[in-house]
Amino acid sequence: MLINLETDIQIFKLTFTMTLPSRDKIVLGTAGLAGIWGPVNFTESEQTIHYALEQGIYHFDTSPAYANAESILGKVLYTWKGKTPFISTKAGKLKADNPDSDTYDFSPDGLIRSVSESLETLKISCIDVLFLHDPTGLKPDEIKAAIDILLEIKSKGWAKQIGIGGNYGSDFTSYVSSKYFDHFMGFNRFNILNQEALMNEYLALQNQHISIWQASPLYMGLLGSKFGTYIKENPSWIPKSHIQRAIELNEYCIKTAVSISALALHFVYDNPLIYKMVLGASNFIELKQSLDWLDDKTLISDNHTLNFTV
């Protein structure tokens, strides 16, 4: 499948091969299932996690900051009798019921307390990956102490590996090293519309042998269910140039009967730099739709390249 999209102004050009995904690379995020992005039915959220497990998704990402996400996931894990899931959670950002919350506790006692409570809530004895949540919330003089505590938590066996949980600023750059971290999870800076992270932090992370997890492959809904809303409202956190790229790509997708969401998911999934792709479904329907897009064999061939210019 060769797709070319030409406009009066060339903004960027991308080429990638779409392949049939392995569930091992997919992580189900739980923020949406806990109602961070809007009201949800918690029973349906639990059923969605069960559905993910039945579909072969055994990797789940959560956080104390995602309302009751850990409780919802912990309840399912307690009753699940199949393969042991891989669990990542976070520490540093405090519990909230909306995505705009910016309350933190990166103190040594706070981080240790957070991990202890997560282990109890999730009903597990060890966290597979513990992320330092939203490092931009750290003051420069807090960074080293917070990292030291995470390493201590790892040494105690409470977490197997440590990660950077979110985009970071210049004050944090000197600590981006495999000496401290095993994983990094980014959002909004690498997707089909925006590859700022690729030539900046992602190459540095790769050089440090830090595995890259990419969340928000649908750009927080711009390339999915919130396309119409964001085009109309043009929220301040989305650059106008990205809105224009989305409009033009969507117009092309309508003309060619190709799903913009499917392209967006495959763009992230199929990049060899990406170790894990985090899906942020809020319910069963959204998760099933994402998996259907990823599994659509009419879009997949090792010999066909998707090539478009916006």
**Strand runs labelled E in 188-287:** 211-215, 274-279
Q: By C-alpha distance, which of 174, 110, 118, 94 is closest to 146?
A: 110
Out of 1.10.3720.10, 2.102.10.10, 3.20.20.100, 3.40.720.10, which CATH number does the structure's domain 23-237+272-300 have?
3.20.20.100
Whether the CB-CB separation of 266 and 18 falls below 8 Å is answered with yes
- Radius of gyration for the alpha carbons in the chain, expressed in angstroms and rounded: 19
Residues whose CB is less than 8 angstroms from the CB of residue 209 and which lie 6 or more positions away in sequence, other chains included: 178
Please say if the pLDDT value at position 3 is more than 50: no
* pLDDT (mean) for 106-115: 98
Q: What is the pLDDT of residues 37-72, one digit of tens each?
A: 888 999 999 999 999 999 999 999 999 999 999 999
Report d(CA 12, CA 310) in Å as an integer: 6
Q: What is the pLDDT of residues 260-292, one digit of tens each?
A: 999 999 999 989 999 999 999 999 999 999 999
Q: Where are the domains of the chain?
A: 23-237+272-300
How many CB atoms are located within 10 Å of the residue 55 CB?
A: 15
Q: By C-alpha distance, which of 16, 19, 3 is closest to 255?
A: 3
To the question of pTM greater than 0.75 for the whole model, the response is yes
